[in-house]
Structure 1
Amino acid sequence: MVTGRYAFPYKPRRHQLEVAEKIVELLKRGNVVLEAPTGFGKTPVVIYALLPFMERGGRVVWAVRTGSETDRPVEEFRVFREKSGARFVAVGLRGKKDMCLLAGERGGQLDYSEVSYICSRERRRCKYYRRLQEGVDYSELLERGALTYRDVFEWARREGVCPYFLQRELLKVADLVALSYNYVVDEDLSWTLRGAFPTSQSILVVDEAHNLQELNLGGDTVTEGTIARAKEEAAEMGDEEVYGFVEALEAKVREKYGSLPEEGSEVFRAEDLLDGFDEDIIEKTLRLGELVREKRYRSGARPRSSAHHLAEFLRKAVDLEGVKGIALIAEKVDGRVHLNIWDMRSGEILSGVWRRFRRVIFMSGTLSPIEAFAETVGLSDYTPVTVPSPYDETNASVYLVKDLTTRGEELSEEMAERYVSAVGRVLGRVKRNSAVFTASYRVLQRLLEAGLKEEAERLGYEVVVERRDMSGQEAGAALEKFKNLAAEGRGLLLAPMGGRFAEGADFPGEELMCVFLAGIPFEKPTTKTNLYIKYYEELYGPEKGRLYAYVYPALRRASQAIGRALRSPRDQAVIVLGDSRYRNYMGLLPDYVRELAVEVKSQDLDSVEPPWEKIKL
């Protein structure tokens, strides 16, 4: 037993209680890296292990990848309150974009910067903020104990107080706060936490920690569209000097980078973009942007300005140019040039973040090799805990297809057609909700051009496709549509590995029973990719550098995609590794995949044996 006072609120699965015991002991000495498969129940196990620490007055920060995921640990904590008597307070923290009542009254989909602008301008006279400052009794909320952002928002709206700053008040008394990574790793946001939470005496839990290596901590992006809108704003305000500068910048970007191939990239120099203009042109553009925001704000429109964003981007690019680990990259995406500030310094920056906390628990289903993960996120003092998979042949049938591959600069017409035929054979056999997760958006597009959608529809499937430019609302609707097809078993999801559906989505039970990996999600060997590899080779040596920057991230993305189909020991799925190169990387895939994989030719895929035909779980 971790503690005699609290009971584990579920019937324990294999290894859960012993892992909780181990975490309790290891935290006395240092940090913990927990790698456990999907379906293990990492969240309740870690909460259970932390109860003795919280009983002694310790506090917990639970960091998740995005704000939309903050509810999960809070809802799990609610189960502990209801079934185990853990009377602690857990709060989900969301940003102003989700919590500002005043901004909501203006209508429209405002972004974070716009809501922050409104808040800074209106706070002193905001009726919701003033009502909170006058004092409000929120003991009712504390009695509930486990508060998602929606719980706080709805209570605050009913009482007429500011939900965002009410959260800040609740932070002062919360035993556990769930928030996005940004509030831990971003210097511009971390003050929100540190001002109300004694981090040096707190334990930090980093959920889905495999995402840490690819955080672009100091990065930013502007597009051709940003520049065009900035020019329009300069014309609108009658500022000829800024107009001339932005017009010249637009011409330079088109001339230098407009001919890049799709997904191609090239290094740019900030001083080249500013050539011919005085150094103060950035500040003049920034001031113009402020005037635009002010004008739009006063008219009731969204207080946004592309000129302001462009100026901030250029100022940052000038300041960071030449810094080791920073790359300024121009790339072509969906036919448009994007200028990126790309920060590769995850290990250097994050090492200081972890030292702010008493202990840190990192957890994910895909951290192997753990030594490489630790090194790339700046972690030196830790003990790994690895949990074996609960899955066997009753859960999964795994096939490695030896005559398919996405290797090469482009997917040939012949290979694309072979993929379409192979997927069709599998779909015709399984007749369950299925997903084809591709190596990239580029490969996804090639398969669509080769007739994948038509082949699936011929077999009676309804196809849902993830687009690169999908809004959160569109993605949610697409996901719901796909899940609603599970009862009939005729949904097909097409999405890239590393995308929102291949990593962030949850598909329990019949919602997803077949995963086909079309390729290995190695990054295309562009200038951007080569810079990343070179930087890692300088840090870790030639051999480790390439593995850390190129190989391991790709296989983690593949493993995440595989894991979408098996979320509990009662789930069953067919898994197809649709690339012969997986044979070379089996040691980096989940243990049950290694043990169950059978090599086949694509023409034999209509003979796959679904596990549900052997045994019903």
Structure 2
Amino acid sequence: MSDAPVTAPRYTVAVRALCEFGAKRGDLDLRFTPAPTAQEGIAGHATVAGRRRAGYQREVALHGEYGSLLVRGRADGYDPQHQRLEEIKTYRGDFQRIPDNHRALHWAQAKVYGWLQCQALALPRIELALVYFNIVTQKETVLAESYEAGELRSFFEAICAGFLDWAERELAHRAARDDALGALAFPYPEFHAGQRQLAEAVYKAASTGRCLLAQAPTGIGKTLGTLFPLLKAFPARRLDKLFFLPAKTSGRRLPLDALAQLRGAGLPLRVLELVARDKACEHPDKACHGESCPLAQGFYDRLPAAREAALAEGCMDQAAVRAAAAAHQVCPYYLSQELARWSDAVVGDYNYYFDITALLHGLTVANQWRVGVLADEAHNLLERGRSMYSAELDQRELQALRKAAPKPVKSALDRLNRAWNALHDAEGAPYRVLPAVPDAFQNALQRAGAAVIDYLTEHPAQIDGALQRFYFDAMHFARLTDVFGEHSLFDVTRQPGSGQRQYARLCLRNVVPAPFLAQRFADAHCAVLFSATLSPAAFYADTLGLPPSTVTIDVASPFRAEQLAVRLAGHISTRYPDRARSLAPIAALIAAQYRRQPGNYLAFFSSFEYLQQALAQFQSGQPDIPVWAQSRGMDERAQHEFLARFVADGQGIGFAVLGGAFAEGIDLPGRRLIGAFIATLGLPQLNPVNEQIMQRMQAIFGAGYDYTYLYPGLQKVVQAAGRVIRSRDDQGVVYLIDDRFTRRQVRDLLPTWWQVESLAE
């Protein structure tokens, strides 16, 4: 974990951030401009530097001060013989299409670096050059100007002066924030049972700069029990930001409410809620540029006032950001991204820190922030991490694209299709795994992407949505191909088409996200992963890439065994071949419990098909008992209606799928839910993909079955059972329906406070 030495209060700003703050003007313009990828940019910089004479210096580290401001960064290159400093920018397409406000920003960066270099070497004058390098033609366009050191110093001081007032206010805000945090008391007279243990572990992790994996039961107040101690560690450890990352949208409300409660106690904390672009956009029918959207026109001119107004509010949830954006006529989504730079606590989805191009992680690295990360419901991070580092290409989409593709692109797509066809199995195997992505396919994919990007660059007024989507999908696939390793699978799935035609879906399927997530943990000062189900800890540490120094705790449950009757129906098998025979005894068991104790129950099954079969069996024998069922693809309104049936002292049974929307993250306390039936061990489906994942888990960890099937399955079971007891006053019952629950290995993975009673046949 990062642990930089503590220094005297000083505001540090990167050259790029300084210039963006002081020199960025005009419209927000997100028209499709096919910028080079990061790797292409690195390669372009290397090409330019490789053309320079001996003695040329690359990546020159520079820094300078202005008042309480420390400015630092790396200039792209310096030629000491000619005293020429270069700022290199890679691009595609027509040089004349680079917007003027972009060039102005580039010149501002060059001038700041120019002064810092003059200061470092005591130069009286220096030549500055903007080197625009076309990665397709490999041609350089150079804009060079000679400047007196005094002129550059004046520019540097002017741009710093414009930022210094802001920086000094930021330092004053931080001082006031940290003073208040030092005096902050826990908002309740005492901690809940287990909450103090969790809070102490979080504080120690923040104090020592380590990761913490905390299994903590529902009902102890995990949200406040993690936020409060991490905030208390801010002053001593000089932390810059706190990122609270829930697994789902619904998980944002609790941390926002807890932070609002702390702010209500006089804490001057800037709290920001980040929401997805499609939920924040005010004009979804308009493109993101000044000629289309009124909130993009002059965005950077109005941004300072909007930024100041939003920060003055302090509590910047979605509604507050939207109000500030509306008052100043700027885009609320991009205003929130700007506010992330100046907030103390940010609440947003996992992807804002853990994804490939994550906003919060990128800002953390660029600004060298010291951050504390809180990942809620962290048992979800394995699957979410896998999806972030997986990519898929469908040949049927390529075929549709080829038919309508413009001529300059079609030939490249045809070549890609031929390379794709070569991946089909001659024997027609429906699914197979290849050891790597063949070079021929990679080359064809790169060329097709280049052809698309060149066409879109040359025809900006003829933007084709399908071509854009193909380009982004292809580049994502290519990016992951470059980092392919034993952590992922490359598989080919055959898909039937019309007539005798066959298509293939290609997937770079991440199995273990640890190699990718490990750097995210390393770049944080501390990270706390917490959930009610993080057992066994070694499974999560291995698959998520937690460092060896990670501390694990298992917080004792505040619940008593007598609150929850756990009954094991070990005489029933829910294995696929036995499901037809299981329906009648399951229906009888559910009916008997309901007749004995009427109330609201949830019944969980392994699939929608099994659910429908069980529902039909139950209704045929018990037509008087109210039932309602989860359906495939339920929208938010339908989900709300499903949960609305669970009223206090209501009666009925909701049929749901284990691992779905109603198996975790919902709160039905008291008499709203008095019991659950779990008719499955929760194991992932037995299919070729999961069998390949099991083989890979076996090769890496030596525990293929447990890591692929058993641990993820039991995690779902415990999560679903956790819906029943939500407070220390609740009473309820859980039925575990499957003979495999009788196995010692399975029983050992259940919560230790459960007392499981086996039912007679």
TM-score (normalizing by structure 2): 0.65
Match of 1:329 in 2: 491
1:59-98 → structure 2 map (5 Å cutoff): 59-82=241-264, 84-98=265-279
| Contact 2:419–2:444 (CA under 8 A) maintained in structure 1 | no
Equivalent of 1:531, from 688, 692, 703?
A: 692
Please name the residue that 2:701 is paired with: 540
Contact 2:605–2:657 (CA<8 Å) still a contact in 1?
Answer: yes
Which runs of no fewer than 5 residues in structure 1 stay unpaired? Answer: 107-117, 603-617
1:509 aligns with 2:659: no
The structure with the largest helix share of the pair is 1
**Contiguous gaps of at least 5 residues in structure 2:** 1-180, 498-502
| Residue of structure 2 in register with 1:392 after alignment | 560
C-alpha distance in 2, partners of 1:580/1:521? 13
Give the whole-Å Cα distance in 2 for the aligned partners of 1:155 and 1:10.
36
Cα shift at 1:99:
2.3
Would the aligned equivalents of 1:432 and 1:489 in 2 still touch at CA under 8 Å?
yes
Return the alpha-carbon distance in structure 2 between the equivalents of residues 40 and 257 of structure 1: 57
- CA pair 313-356 structure 1, distance change in 2 beyond 3 A: closer
Distance 1:179 1:242, change over 3 A: same
Mark the CA change 1:482 to 1:131 in structure 2 (over 3 Å): closer, same or farther: same
Corresponding position of 1:220: 391
Q: State the Cα distance separating 1:575 from its structure 2 match.
A: 0.7
Query: Secondary structure of 1:188's match?
Result: coil
Secondary structure at 1:552 match in 2: helix
Between the aligned partners of 1:433 and 1:337, the Cα distance in structure 2 is 47
- Give distance in 1, aligned partners of 2:195 and 2:471: 51
Instruction: Establish whether residue 7 from structure 1 lines up as the match of residue 186 from structure 2.
Output: yes
CA contact (8 A) 2:371 2:524 kept: yes
Asked if 1 retains the 8 angstrom alpha-carbon contact of 2:272 and 2:315, the reply is: yes
Q: Secondary structure in 1 aligned to 2:254?
A: helix
Cα-to-partner distance string for 1:503-543 (whole Å, 9 max, x where unaligned): 233333344322111111112332222222222222223xx
Name the structure 2 match of 1:166: 335
Residues 75 and 148 in structure 1, CA contact (< 8 A), matched pair in contact too: no
Instruction: Measure how far apart 1:11 and its partner are.
Output: 5.7
Distance 1:426 1:197, change over 3 A: farther
Matches of residues 33-112 of structure 1 in structure 2 within 5 Å? 33-56=213-236, 57-58=238-239, 59-82=241-264, 84-102=265-283, 104-106=284-286
Asked if 1:566 is matched to 2:728, the reply is: no
> Paired residue for 1:178, among 315, 338, 347?
347
Count how many residue pairs are aligned between Structure 1 and Structure 2: 564
Q: Secondary structure at the match of 1:34?
A: strand
Deviation at 1:295, TM superposition (A): 9.7
Aligned to 1:613: none
1:136 counterpart SS class: helix
Secondary structure of residue in 2 paired with 1:65 = coil
* Contact 1:331-1:339 at 8 Å conserved across structures: yes
- Displacement of 1:600 after TM fit? 0.8
Match of 1:284 among 416, 431, 448: 448
User: Are residue 187 (structure 1) and residue 367 (structure 2) matched?
Assistant: no
The DSSP-based 3-state class of the residue aligned with 2:358 is helix
User: Which one-letter code corresponds to 1:231 in the other structure?
Assistant: Q
Per the alignment, do residues 309 and 21 of structure 1 end up closer, same or farther by CA in structure 2, a change over 3 Å counting? closer
Question: 2: CA distance between counterparts of 1:416 and 1:423?
Answer: 11
Structure 1 contact 536–549 (Cα < 8 Å) conserved: yes
Q: Check whether the contact 2:572–2:585 (CA below 8 A) recurs between aligned residues.
A: yes
- The alpha carbon displacement at 1:188 in A equals 1.5
| 1:583 equivalenced with 2:742 (yes/no) | yes
SS at match of 1:397: strand
- Equivalent pair of 2:182/2:235 in contact (CA under 8 Å): no
Shift of 1:317: 7.3
- Corresponding position of 1:348: 515
Shift of 1:12: 3.3
Contact 2:244 2:346 in 1 (8 A): yes
Distance change >3 Å, CA 42–CA 297, structure 1 → 2:
farther
3-state secondary structure, aligned to 2:574? coil
Larger Rg: 2
1:213-235 CA distance string (max 9 Å, x none): 33213202345xxx445433432
Which of the residues 604, 619, 644 maps onto 1:483?
644
Higher relative contact order, structure no. (Cα contacts within 8 Å, ≥ 6 residues apart): 1
Whether the aligned pair in 1 keeps the contact of 2:194 and 2:557 (CA below 8 Å) is no
Judged with a 3 Å threshold, the aligned counterparts in structure 2 of structure 1 residues 90 and 418 are, in CA distance, closer, same or farther, namely same
| 1:364 CA displacement | 0.8
Classify the secondary structure of the residue corresponding to 1:349: helix
Which residue identity does 1:235 align to in structure 2? K
Give the match for residue 585 of structure 2: 418
Quote the RMSD (CA, aligned, Å): 3.9
Quote the Cα distance in structure 2 between the aligned partners of 1:257 and 1:462: 48
The 3-state SS of whatever aligns with 1:221 is: strand
Structure 1 equivalent of residue 206 of structure 2: 27
Q: Give 2:12's aligned residue.
A: none
1:433 aligns with 2:600: yes
Cα deviation, 1:118-165, whole Å, max 9, x if unaligned, reads 44xx26875324245333155553344332223312432343211122
Confirm or deny that 1:406 pairs with 2:570. no
- Cα distance, 1:410 vs structure 2: 3.5
